[in-house]
Structure 1
């Protein structure tokens, strides 16, 4: 399931429960396995949660999903279960999901064919910035087509979302490198000091929900 949060509803209840337990955002992030930035976004902005994330938050906050999602009176009628649906997401929602994440995938054409690899990234306005090795194939690209993908799925609940960015990739400018201020930390080993920037041309997203 996807749960839309707002500061006045679910996000506020999560924040208030965390504070009541005396926990920091970082401590909740460790308990849930989510990033600190993701927890902060959930608490402070309108957002979409997968069922798995909601369950993790409930466990981390020593409460139940029912208590977290229970609407304030007056209560609304219970929804009738529906067959899974696939809905397009608005560009604004896609951008919020990209801004809240830090790991995605890029796909580009190399000499040996299509390549898809995971990357750590950060955003700078609409730009998506990542680091790579100076001798990597993608580091040689300048205004070449590239795709960036980010998703979250709950296999048990059969729901989730996926965001796709189509654009071009190029070396980041000195000003862009200075602006991200080491906010990109690649998990992969080796020297990865070449900053690359993806200029989005089209951003689309889809969400599947089972209820």
Structure 2
């Protein structure tokens, strides 16, 4: 049984999360059933219903369909055209470290930015998050494979151009070769899309994790 939560409590659900939970309960659905309908995970549904979150337009459309509701029913009515109300502008909000880590853990593709010989280099990488470390694979002769305790930035994001919303997470830390134990733990969990021989495992040890979300409602 769901336990009602105070939507005004710091760290509690947003008003949208509360409306989603109420709609689900009204339909007699479990989080797992809504997750299956929406093509999301049950953990993601629970996160949306109980904590502040970054929800994209695509996820909102899926949830509206899964809950047999309109987007307006979930987000709340907007002011009618011509009404003397301030315009609704997109809202840019910082994300808590805990929410950033959830997004990192659930992702598999990010970007590594590092200082090359003559310029800053940004490359996409497949990765996994394990034991508070970001692990990725690269070719033994790549520039980043030669780094050992060098500063880098790691970034991942998700944007919906139609809804003009999304989120981004930035990790600042040090990159180094993975230890034998870290390599063994990550083996089979990181499969580079680029193919080829990429058997060098590298680790980003986070020093600072920040995130932002932009919402259009």
- Structure 1 position 39 matched with structure 2 position 45: no
Answering whether residue 172 of structure 2 is matched by residue 140 of structure 1, we say: no
Does residue 9 (structure 1) correspond to residue 11 (structure 2)? The answer is no
In 2, the alpha carbon distance for the partners of 1:120 and 1:48 equals: 22
Equivalent pairs, count: 190
Distance 1:3 1:181 in 2: 41
2:139 equivalent to 1:127:
no
Aligned partner of 1:73 in structure 2 is none
Classify 1:122/1:110 alpha carbon distance in 2 versus 1 (closer, same or farther; 3 Å). same
For the residue of structure 2 that corresponds to 1:135, the secondary structure is: coil
CA distance in 2, matches of 1:93, 1:4: 17
2:183 corresponds to 1:174: no
- Give the whole-Å Cα distance in 1 for the aligned partners of 2:134 and 2:182: 11
**Any conservation in 1 of the 2:95–2:210 contact (CA below 8 Å)?**
yes
* C-alpha contact (below 8 Å) 1:5/1:42 kept by paired residues: no
- Larger relative strand fraction: 1
1:160 aligns with 2:172: no
Once the 2 structures are TM-superposed, how far is the Cα of residue 63 of structure 1 from its aligned partner? 4.7
Q: Do the aligned residues in 2 keep the contact of 1:86 with 1:208 (CA within 8 Å)?
A: yes
Give unmatched runs, 5+ long, in structure 2.
Answer: 1-13, 80-86
* Residue 117 (str. 1) matches residue 129 (str. 2): no
Rounded to whole Å, the distance in 2 between the matches of 1:41 and 1:149 is 23
In the TM superposition, residue 65 of structure 1 has moved relative to its aligned partner by 5.1
Pairwise CA distance, 1:210: 1.6
Q: CA RMSD in A?
A: 3.3
1:171–1:17 CA distance, 2 compared to 1 (3 A)? closer
Bigger Rg over Cα: 2
Instruction: Return the alpha-carbon distance in structure 1 between the equivalents of residues 93 and 73 of structure 2.
Output: 25
SS at 1:105's partner residue? strand
Instruction: Answer yes or no: is the 8 Å Cα contact 2:151–2:174 preserved in 1.
Output: yes
Could you tell me the TM-score, scaled by structure 2's length? 0.73
* Shift of residue 199, structure 1, vs aligned partner: 0.4
Secondary structure at the residue paired with 2:41? Answer: helix
Distance in structure 1 (CA, Å) of the matches to 2:90 and 2:44? 24
Residue number in structure 2 paired with 1:32: none
| Alpha-carbon separation, structure 2, partners of 1:68 and 1:183 | 40
Q: Give the unaligned 5+ runs of structure 1.
A: 30-37, 71-76
Which residue matches 1:85? 91
